[in-house]
Amino acid sequence: MLTLSQTLLAFGLLGPVWTARSRSSESHDDHFDLLIFAQNWPTTNCIEWKERDKQNTCTIPQGIWTVHGIWPTKNKTIGPNFCDRSKRFDPTRLAPILDDLEAHWTNVHANTGEYSFWKHEWEKHGTCAMELGPLDTEFKYFKQGITWNEQYPLSKFLNDAGIVPGQKYTFKEIFDAVQNRLGGHRPAVQCQYDDEHDVKTLAQINICFEKSLQLTDCDPIKGGVNLFCPRFAREIFYPESTRFNSAPLFPYVLSVVFVMIILPVGFQIIKRVYLHRLRQTLYQPL
C-alpha cells in the first residue's frame, strides 16, 4: 500500500518540500493552461511536518491560511516546473515586502533555511509563471501571492459559513463556503491523513485563475476539485491552530492551583501553629 507521501507525490500534490529536485526526465515543455493559487492551513502543514520527524518545529500564524504557492498548471496533469534555471532566487529583491511575506507566505517549517521555502517556490513555479507580464519578476510573483491571500481570506470565508477550527465538516460544506465567495467558481479542497489521530484533516484549498488572472474553475487540474477528501460523511477535521502554538497548559493550571488553594491553606496552617504556641507561652503558670 502506498504511503500518504507517495500518494500525494504521485498526484503532484505533496505538501511543501522545499528542497528543489532535479530530474533528468523532467519535461521542458513550458506551456501551461491555468494558475493554481494554493493556500494551506498551517496547523495541518505542521502536523505533516512533525510526522516526518518529531524533532521538526513549526511557525504557525494565528487564524489565517497562508500561501503555499502560485503554480502554472496544465489541464489534467502537473507542471511545468523549473522552467528557467538561470533565474536564481535572490532574497534581496524581496526586501520591500519581507514582513508581508513572513505574515502571508509563511515558512511553517521553522527548522529549515530562512529563505528555503520561497527559493523552492520561485525556482520551481515562479520561473514558469514569468511568461505572464504581471508575474514576470521575482518581486511581482511573490507580491501577487500576498495580494491574493488578502483578497481571498479563507479563514473569513469559512468562518462566515460557520466552519471553524476544532470541528468536523463535510466536503460539500467546505467547498460551498469557498465557492460562494468566488462568484460561483469552483475551488479545489485537499485533505491529508493524520496518522496519529486516524482522521482526515483539512489541508489546502486551491483557487484557480486563467492566464489573464481572472478567476476560473479548478475542475481541469489533476485530481479535480476533491483531493483525497471524504465525499459524503462529516469526517474532515479542521484542526485548531493552538494545537502546536500553545504552551503546555498543565504548568499554568498547577501554578493557579498553588497560588489560589495550596498557598492560602498553607498560610492558615502556619498561622494556627504560631498562634497556638503563642498562647502556650503567654498562659504558662509562673
Whole-angstrom distance, CA of residue 277 vs CA of residue 273: 6
Q: Which residue has the cell 484533516?
A: 201
Pick from 239, 235, 231: which is nearest to 172 by CA? 231
Grid cell digits, residue 211: 492566464
Q: Which residue has the cell 498548471?
A: 73
Whole-angstrom distance, CA of residue 145 vs CA of residue 152: 10
- Residues labelled catalytic: 68, 121, 125
Q: CB of 80 within 8 A of CB of 72?
A: yes
H or E element at residue 263: helix 263-282
H or E element at residue 147: helix 138-151
The DSSP bridge pattern shows strands 199-209 and 236-238 to be parallel
Q: CB of 16 within 8 A of CB of 112?
A: no
Q: Is 16 helix (H, G, I), strand (E, B) or coil?
A: coil
